[in-house]
Amino acid sequence: MRPVEGESIIDVRGLRMRYGSTDVLKGVDFTVRSGEVVTLLGPNGAGKTTTIEILEGFRLPSDGTVTVLGADPAKGDEDWRARTGVVLQSWRDHARWTPRKLLAHLGRYYVPYSTPERSRPYGVEELIAMVGLAEQADQKIRTLSGGQRRRLDVAIGIIGRPELLFLDEPTAGFDPQARREFHELIQRLTELEETTVLLTTHDLSEAEKLADRILILAGGRIVADGSADELARQVAAEGQVRWSFDGQRHVQSTAEPTEFVWDLFTRHGRKITDLEVRRASLEDTYLTMVQQHESGRADQAATAFGPADAEAETEDAR
Ligand SMILES: Nc1ncnc2c1ncn2[C@@H]1O[C@H](COP(=O)(O)OP(=O)(O)OP(=O)(O)O)[C@@H](O)[C@H]1O
């Protein structure tokens, strides 16, 4: 059965992962719904790749329940695999092949999984144009630049027209132009193809631009879950108002910036100049959270920024 809009596509409950004696994931819970673009953010070593590899079925968790497209990824069959697309950190094989030949070759595996609603695979020419590799289509893969190589990785990930696409740091090494083109590609995939996307990134502006929802992974748990705006509002219930009056600069933090500004103008009218109202950016939110985590106050971060049940998870994980 194909997913309908808003249906849960990924469901993760109490996910734990231990490497040797180190607990990397200590009880991760989240859901991704059909059609959403969700970003997993977190400092180096937080366990983003581990999480994504468990969801892809490449790694077995130590504990917890994971459901992806209605199945346990560890037991996903060929049909399940054909419905998911994976963009790994880099495709290292087939250096002597060309993008056109490799995509045609890989595409053939998806022919048996074509359905009336979702014809598989993508046409090679359409895909090459979509990822911007037309000029390099017949070049040996080993001669591609880092950015071109990454575009090929993305093309390989979506050749089977997946319903769910996993991308692990997809734009690492992209120049600004390639990054913008990649963002447009993801937007096209989600709008036209209704592809659900889970990606990891270190780039906050990328998360803000692409993601419907951001999950912040730190201290082995999801410590924040919401849109970029929601997260910023959670960290800064207060806004900052800055203005000049009689040649002097003033700053005031307030929970009601609109009311404060209204009052300011009522009292001083046009003598108020250079007015600015500032809310915390996603970067402020993220850095505050990571600082709390790194100074050993991860539980506090989970309580302050997390989903409603974060406190319960925290108790459970102790
Ligand atoms: N196979 C493994 N055996 C032992 N430890 C591992 C293994 N894979 C990952 N780790 C450790 O688990 C932790 C999480 O790694 P992971 O790659 O999932 O983090 P990440 O959030 O993706 O990091 P980065 O942002 O640096 O890519 C790290 O401390 C890493 O060293």
Q: Which residue is associated with the tokens 């037309």?
A: 134
Residue 74 lies in a domain: yes
Q: What confidence score (pLDDT) does residue 5 get? A: 56
pLDDT over 90 at 110, yes or no: yes
pTM of the model: 0.79
Q: Specify whether 134 is located in the same domain as 51.
A: yes
Residue 49 lies in a domain: yes
Model confidence at 103, in pLDDT bands (50, 70, 90)? very high
Q: Specify whether 20 is located in the same domain as 145.
A: yes
Are 8 and 31 in contact, with CB atoms under 8 Å apart? yes
CA–centroid distance, 90 to ligand 1, in Å, is 17
Model confidence at 313, in pLDDT bands (50, 70, 90)? very low
Model pLDDT for residues 81-102, shown as the tens digit of each residue: 999 999 876 656 778 899 999 9
Residue 3 lies in a domain: no
Residue 108 lies in a domain: yes
Q: Specify whether 222 is located in the same domain as 247.
A: no
DSSP, res 71: B
Q: Indicate if ligand 1 lies below 6 Å from the C-beta of 19.
A: yes
If you take atom 18 of ligand 1, which residue's CA is the nearest one? 47
pLDDT over 80 at 170, yes or no: yes
If you take atom 10 of ligand 1, which residue's CA is the nearest one? 19
**Residues whose CB falls within 8 Å of the CB of residue 262, separated by 6 or more in sequence, listed in order:** none
Average pLDDT over residues 242-262: 90
* 18, 22, 49, best to mutate for ligand 1 pocket (most atoms within 8 Å of CB): 49
Q: Which residue is associated with the tokens 């009880």?
A: 27
Residue 57 lies in a domain: yes
Model pLDDT for residues 13-23, shown as the tens digit of each residue: 999 999 999 99
pLDDT over 60 at 225, yes or no: yes
Q: Minimal CA–CA distance to 157: which of 119, 192, 213, 195?
A: 195
pLDDT over 80 at 133, yes or no: yes
DSSP, res 220: T
Q: Specify whether 112 is located in the same domain as 153.
A: yes
pLDDT over 70 at 165, yes or no: yes
CA–centroid distance, 16 to ligand 1, in Å, is 13
Residue 210 lies in a domain: yes
pLDDT over 70 at 305, yes or no: no
CA–centroid distance, 23 to ligand 1, in Å, is 11
Q: Distances from the Cα of 91 to the Cαs of 3, 144, 148, 286, in angstroms? A: 29, 12, 12, 31
* 18, 22, 23, 24, best to mutate for ligand 1 pocket (most atoms within 8 Å of CB): 24
Average pLDDT over residues 209-218: 91
Q: Indicate if ligand 1 lies below 6 Å from the C-beta of 42.
A: yes
pLDDT over 80 at 236, yes or no: no
Dist. CA 154–CA 170, nearest whole Å: 8
Q: What confidence score (pLDDT) does residue 299 get? A: 53
Domain range spanning residue 304? 236-317
Model confidence at 242, in pLDDT bands (50, 70, 90)? very high
Average pLDDT over residues 183-207: 87
pLDDT higher at 231 or 276:
276
Q: Please work out, in degrees rounded to the nearest 5, the angle formed at the alpha carbon of residue 236 by the alpha carbons of 233 and 242.
A: 110
Q: Indicate if ligand 1 lies below 6 Å from the C-beta of 26.
A: no
Q: Specify whether 304 is located in the same domain as 213.
A: no
SS3 222: strand
User: Do β-strands 164-168 and 213-218 pair in parallel, antiparallel, or remain unpaired?
Assistant: unpaired
Residue 38 lies in a domain: yes
Q: What confidence score (pLDDT) does residue 240 get? A: 84
Average pLDDT over residues 140-163: 89
Q: Indicate if ligand 1 lies below 6 Å from the C-beta of 6.
A: no
Whether the predicted interface score ipTM is above 0.90: yes
Model confidence at 124, in pLDDT bands (50, 70, 90)? very high
pLDDT over 60 at 307, yes or no: no
Radius of gyration from C-alpha coordinates of the chain: 23
SS3 69: coil
Domain boundary among 191, 206, 226: 226
Query: Worst-scoring range by mean pLDDT, 118-122, 174-178, 242-246?
Result: 174-178
